Structure 1
Amino acid sequence: MRTPCGDHELDDDPARVDVDTLWAFLSTEPYWGRWRSREQVEAQLAAAWRVVGVYELSSGRMVGFARAFSDGVASAYLADVYIDRSARGHGLGVALVREMIDNGPGAGFRWMLHTDDAHELYSRFGFREPDRTYLERPSKHS
């Protein structure tokens, strides 16, 4: 599904994801993704329940991405959300998260994520500290 967003569009077609652009970002920029190999990123992309990319209308260049994995029934995990530095400041991050969690097939799901620096963004969508029923085993990669 393609959704217009100013000079950009959001698209959930996994075949449209520019793997080279995705890898270039994930392998160098985010604190949360640099430990993975390209093969691991490609495996995660292939196994994703849903992906949404952000693309410039003029060039088709991918400037943002989000990935989710899910049981397809009740819960999903939001991962690898980013907007390229060149495209930030135009509301694309908000549009990307909204497209992934509110406008897709998981709109009624319990969504989970980890972030160290984007609490303000995600709180707009109802994300908050976990309640007493949530337990987690930390990653050995952290």
Structure 2
Amino acid sequence: MDYDLDDDPSRIQPDVVWGWLSTEAYWGRQRSRADVETRISGAWRVAGAYRRDTGEQVGFARAVSDGVNFAYLADVFVIDAHRGHGLGKRLVKLMVDDGPGSSFRWVLFTSDAHGLYRLFGFAAPDDTALVRPAR
């Protein structure tokens, strides 16, 4: 199966993003649909993976940024039936290495897929990073 990836926000299919985040994402199930739509529309950048034959969205990534030197990568997913085609790597590459933030300091929070993110230079924080946990 062939796939297209791009960062055109008009192609994002909120039903697909909401459907996956609200049922599959350990980090996103507490969000309302309105929360998800607000995050999509307020993102600095979004990217999607789409089946070339149908246009169906099968993957997503979102970033928040100051637009100058810092970005936060979030909500990266590929629908299970479409995994194994390198789409996760392609989404992260499109967001981190191939876009306007390629020279930025990037951060993300994840409890899995560390191997994927290490391929793009993500590592444990150095002594210049602190995190305030959610309350």
Q: Secondary structure at the match of 2:91?
A: helix
| Structure 1 residues 86-97: aligned runs within 5 Å | 86-97=81-92
What count of residue pairs does the alignment treat as equivalent? Answer: 135
Cα displacement (A) at 1:15 = 1.0
Q: Secondary structure at the match of 1:111?
A: strand
Which of 31, 40, 54 is the matching residue for 1:36?
Answer: 31
**Per-residue Cα deviation, 1:56-114 (whole angstroms, up to 9, x for no partner):** 00000000000000000000000000000010011110011001000000000000000
Gaps of at least 5 residues in structure 2 are none
Taking every aligned residue pair, what percent have the same amino acid on both sides? 57
Which of 5, 10, 13 is the matching residue for 1:10?
Answer: 5
Q: Hey, what does 1:68 align to over in structure 2?
A: 63
TM-score by length of 1: 0.93
**Root mean square deviation, CA, Å:** 0.8
Alignment partner of 1:134 is 2:124 = no
Question: How far apart, in 1, do the equivalents of 2:78 and 2:114 lie?
Answer: 16
Alignment partner of 1:123 is 2:118 = yes
The runs of 4+ residues in structure 1 deviating greater than 2 Å are none
Question: How far apart, in 1, do the equivalents of 2:98 and 2:112 lie?
Answer: 24
TM-score by length of 2: 0.98
